[in-house]
Amino acid sequence: MGRKSSDITILGGASAIPESPDKAVLERVANPHADTVYVARFTAPEFTSLCPVTGQPDFAHLVIDYVPDDWLVESKSLKLYLASFRNHGAFHEDCTVAIGKRIAKLLDPSYLRIGGYWYPRGGMPIDVFWQTGKLPAGIWLPDQGVPPYRGRG
């Protein structure tokens, strides 16, 4: 976590999908507007992981909102980190919360929330929400825009 933005290793070159989330490198860059309070959002509508029991794929629509302080998550490293879950067996709750915690640890943002809107398995969707920090007063935080399950898509 003590790295500077000049320590970026992934951006600007070819990159393979990491074998697992533990092996994925998640990088950060300096926030050029650290003096401004704002929300940044990442949406991953095709997130995939594996059921740890059956090995079958699970699919989710992830929405990550955060209010950065000194650091921003570098988007290519985030994409590769999320893609590393494709061969990772974990329950919906574990995937969603682990992603939120890893980003929060890397960035130490004022506020971060993640919504994991999981497609049904066995007829029941499991939506998972986690947040950390306090939303600054007066900040506009839009709805995550994912409707309750009714044949999402």
18: its two tokens = 């990491």
Geometric angle at alpha carbon 18, from 15 and 22, rounded to 5°: 140
Catalytic residue among 7, 22, 35, 58: 58
Catalytic residue among 7, 22, 35, 51: 51
Helix (H, G, I), strand (E, B) or coil at 116: strand
**Helix (H), strand (E), coil (C) string for 4-20:** CHHHCCCCCCCCCCCCC
- 35 is annotated as an active-site residue: no
- 58 is annotated as an active-site residue: yes
- Environment class of 134 (CB within 10 Å of its CB; exposed 0-12, middle 13-18, buried 19+): exposed
- Catalytic residues, which ones? 51, 58
